[in-house]
């Protein structure tokens, strides 16, 4: 039961509130409450306390101007077109109002089809009265969506109980006796003062009979609402053979007091406002800034914050990129300067890191051949071979081939046994691995033994 429907009844000295909502069984009364007030400040405080955390996008609030605030008229038109009725309404009301119609708000409460045309109930309320009533709501930011006139707002909630009846609204501020027909107020009488005590029941019956007689009706039941309706008055009316009752609404199994019934009927008015006709003075200059307007304002603020955030993020990213670009440019200049100083003979610069690696590789290859900084250079290997040769034999080396995968030695010595000794001696070197005799034969003059010896490097040596 997320959406609530709230009726607010402002009477002399008291603000009363009723909250209704839907559940699986239909509309239900959820709560009632009241606060006293004596001036505008206390009225605003009472409204603030009663409405609580009213949500703009969920709750729907309704209130009613007192009947004395407006002038109601029933007009007859020979047509039923709503647009034509609206167009003719202001001119028709202007001829019947005791005040200037341009200073009033005019609304239509109900249209009833007749044999020849349409009967329309309309009210005119001075704009100053509407503004004064709305002031505490506006001051407290309470979103009052529906503002009707009391004689028309409250009887509609009683239509399900009786199609035709007399509704007596007994409030501190005023007394209204209204004729309810087909769910709408067909006529009413307004009184600022009424008799008290034992005279009140008789007087109410007289006024009720006069109102019924005017419409050729009689014997209608009386519904009593408001703070001045009580069991004593109800029993006094029944003793005079008048069918009378206080409409029953229950809250948590208990009957709701008559003083809250005007607020309850307003809650039902808010609950049914989307499906029923009725007047609403929340229009024109007094139109409520709707949900879209409130949402639009929040969206504008959110959009501004988002735009500012994006601007800050974009600016920060650009500054970061510019700073890094400057650093990259400075490093590139330093790298170019180092390249020029290291390799002055190179004129074309394409990829400095790659060109530097290639130049370093070339220098390392030359260094290995010259024996610079590496025990596996060609000179170091040659020195190792010289040191490992047996000292007691004669060996002539005619050819030495130094390659990445090893060495090939070609030469001559005195005997086949000397060749074997040379091979075993070289295999003892930490720079060399296996020694393989690939060729050995006697020279043409039979004085020497020619041989070919293949040597591999050990695992830790790089040529």
User: Model confidence at 376, in pLDDT bands (50, 70, 90)?
Assistant: low
Secondary structure percentages of the chain, helix, strand, coil, to 5: 40, 30, 30
- Rg (alpha carbons) of the chain, rounded to whole number: 54
Collect all residues with Cβ–Cβ distance below 8 Å to 393 and sequence separation of at least 6: 413, 414, 418, 421, 422
- Model confidence at 57: pLDDT above 60: no
Residue 314, token pair as written in the block: 């974009």
What is the fold, at CATH topology level, of the domain defined by 4-288?
Nucleotidyltransferase; domain 5 (3.30.420)
Q: Copy the structure tokens of residue 377.
A: 């250079």
Residue 78 pLDDT level (bands cut at 50, 70, 90): confident
Give the CB-side neighbour count of residue 300, counting CA atoms within 13 A.
6
Model confidence over 385-406: pLDDT tens digits? 888 888 888 888 889 888 777 8
| Strands 222-225 vs 244-245: parallel, antiparallel or unpaired | parallel
Q: Give residue 128's pLDDT.
A: 93
CB 97 within 8 A of CB 103: no
Q: In terms of Cα–Cα distance, which of 330, 341, 370, 356 is closest to 463?
A: 370
Question: Residue 9: its pLDDT value, please?
Answer: 95
Answer whether CATH 3.90.1580.10 is correct for domain 367-457.
no
Position 98 confidence tier, pLDDT thresholds 50, 70, 90 = confident
Global pTM? 0.62
Q: What are the CA-CA distances from residue 304 to residues 295, 296, 297 (Å)?
A: 14, 12, 11
- Supply the pLDDT for residue 47: 92
User: Do residues 50 and 88 lie in contact, with contact meaning Cβ atoms separated by under 8 Å?
Assistant: no
- Kindly tell me the number of DSSP H helices and DSSP E strands found in the chain: 11, 19
């Amino acid at each position: 039961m997320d959406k609530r429907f709230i009726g607010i009844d402002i009477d002399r000295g008291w603000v009363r509130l009723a909250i209704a909502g839907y559940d699986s069984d239909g509309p239900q009364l959820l709560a009632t409450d009241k606060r006293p007030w004596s001036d505008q400040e206390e009225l605003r405080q009472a409204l603030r306390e009663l409405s609580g955390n009213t949500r703009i996008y969920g709750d729907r609030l309704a209130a009613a101007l007192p009947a004395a605030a407006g002038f109601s008229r029933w007009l007859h038109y020979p047509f039923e077109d709503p647009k034509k009725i609206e167009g003719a309404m202001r001119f028709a009301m202007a001829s019947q109002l005791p005040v200037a119609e341009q200073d009033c708000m005019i609304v239509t409460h109900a249209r009833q089809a007749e044999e020849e045309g349409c009967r329309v109930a309309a009210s005119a309320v001075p704009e100053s009265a509407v503004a004064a009533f709305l002031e505490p709501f506006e001051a407290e930011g309470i979103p009052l969506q529906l503002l009707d006139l009391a004689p028309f707002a409250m009887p509609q909630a009683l239509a399900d109980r009786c199609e035709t009846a007399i509704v007596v609204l007994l409030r501190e501020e005023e007394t209204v006796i209204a004729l309810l027909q087909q769910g709408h107020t067909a006529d009413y009488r307004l009184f600022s003062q009424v008799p008290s005590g034992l005279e009140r029941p008789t007087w109410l019956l007289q006024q009720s009979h006069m109102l019924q007689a005017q419409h050729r009706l009689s014997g209608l039941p009386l519904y009593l609402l408001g703070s001045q309706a009580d069991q004593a008055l109800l029993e006094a009316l029944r003793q005079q053979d008048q069918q009378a009752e206080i409409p029953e609404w229950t809250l948590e199994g208990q009957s709701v007091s008559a003083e809250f019934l005007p607020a309850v009927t307003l809650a039902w008015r808010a609950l049914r406002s989307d499906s029923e006709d009725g007047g609403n003075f929340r229009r024109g200059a007094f139109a409520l800034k709707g949900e879209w307007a409130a949402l639009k304002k929040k969206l504008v603020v959110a959009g501004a914050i988002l735009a500012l955030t994006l601007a800050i993020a974009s600016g920060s990213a650009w500054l970061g990129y510019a700073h890094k670009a400057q650093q990259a440019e400075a490093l590139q200049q330093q790298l170019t300067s180092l390249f020029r100083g290291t390799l002055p003979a190179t004129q074309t610069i394409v990829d400095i890191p790659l060109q530097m690696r290639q130049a370093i590789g070339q220098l390392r290859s030359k260094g290995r051949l010259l024996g610079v900084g590496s025990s596996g250079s060609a000179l170091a290997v040659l020195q190792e071979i010289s040191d490992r040769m047996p000292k007691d034999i004669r060996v002539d080396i005619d050819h030495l081939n130094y390659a990445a995968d090893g060495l090939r030695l070609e030469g001559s010595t005195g005997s086949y046994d000397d060749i074997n000794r040379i091979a075993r001696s070289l295999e003892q070197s930490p720079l060399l691995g296996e020694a393989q005799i690939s060729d050995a034969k006697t020279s043409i003059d039979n004085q020497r033994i020619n041989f070919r010896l293949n040597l591999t490097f050990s695992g830790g040596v790089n040529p």
